[in-house]
A and B are shown apart, each in its own frame.
Chain A
Amino acid sequence: AQKVTQAQTEISVVEKEDVTLDCVYETRDTTYYLFWYKQPPSGELVFLIRRNSFDEQNEISGRYSWNFQKSTSSFNFTITASQVVDSAVYFCARRTKYSGGGADGLTFGKGTHLIIQP
């Protein structure tokens, strides 16, 4: 299986600091999709962004930004001026083919637990 690696298990910063969550993916495909999800303490996964391999433009949404670098197979996520409400587990994922039936789906990294201290 083509893996998604989130090397940072846990990050702790003080509120208002900027923080970057790393994501490195493996791929043999020419076209692919990458995703970021947020999992707050309540448990539900919240979709943040989808990026396809055609589009290498960086994306900004408010305090969130994503840096997609095909040359290094990375799709990093930066939170600017972090807030306590940003505390959550963040997952990076990529589109994949499931081995069972060959259907499209998602392969997730192990997640990064982000703690924002007041």
Chain B
Amino acid sequence: DGGITQSPKYLFRKEGQNVTLSCEQNLNHDAMYWYRQDPGQGLRLIYYSQIVNDFQKGDIAEGYSVSREKKESFPLTVTSAQKNPTAFYLCASSPRDRVYEQYFGPGTRLTVT
């Protein structure tokens, strides 16, 4: 089945540690995105990538980093510089000719204590 995989579903970390969230897609989509969701805040864009080896900052990129070495994969690292990392993180992808049509993964809920 084609789709987007995010693992794990729940992730717990101690403050001060970096943590990497996985996102894999087998839809052959060129573009991929990372969003953060906080209660009552909707989805906010962290980073996006339109093509392999290229990515751009979104609205709230501070404290996060990404890489796009393969078309299928777009991992997100939450660094210790991120002040409030506890949130629900959603990955999405879209095809080249309809980049506004985004397909979402199941999300990872990160809790940092």
**Distance in Å from the Cβ of B14 to the closest Cβ of chain A?**
24
Residues 87-113 (chain B) with a chain A CB within 8 angstroms: 88, 90, 92, 99-107, 109
The answer to whether B56 touches A44 (Cβ under 8 A) is no
The CA-CA distance from A6 to B43 in the complex, in Å, is: 13
Tally of A interface residues using CB under 8 Å: 25
The CA-CA distance from A44 to B58 in the complex, in Å, is: 21
Chain B contact surface mostly: strand
The answer to whether A50 touches B101 (Cβ under 8 A) is yes
Q: A43-B109, A98-B58, A100-B57 are in contact. Are A105 and B33 (CB under 8 A)?
A: yes
The answer to whether A101 touches B56 (Cβ under 8 A) is yes
The answer to whether B100 touches A91 (Cβ under 8 A) is no
Tally of B interface residues using CB under 8 Å: 27
**Distance in Å from the Cβ of A47 to the closest Cβ of chain B?**
7
Question: Which of A101, A105, A111 neighbours the largest number of chain B CB atoms within 10 Å of its CB?
Answer: A105
The answer to whether B33 touches A91 (Cβ under 8 A) is no
The CA-CA distance from A37 to B101 in the complex, in Å, is: 11
Q: Inside 8 A of B88's CB, which chain A residues have their CB?
A: 43
Q: B21 on the interface (CB 8 Å rule)?
A: no
The answer to whether A103 touches B50 (Cβ under 8 A) is yes
Q: Inside 8 A of B42's CB, which chain A residues have their CB?
A: 91, 108-111
Q: B31 on the interface (CB 8 Å rule)?
A: yes
10 chain-A/chain-B pairs, Cβ below 8 angstroms: A43-B107, A44-B106, A44-B107, A47-B103, A91-B42, A101-B56, A103-B50, A103-B99, A106-B102, A108-B42
Q: A44-B106, A45-B92, A47-B102 are in contact. List 7 more A-B contacts (CB 8 A).
A: A47-B101, A95-B100, A100-B48, A105-B99, A106-B100, A106-B102, A110-B41
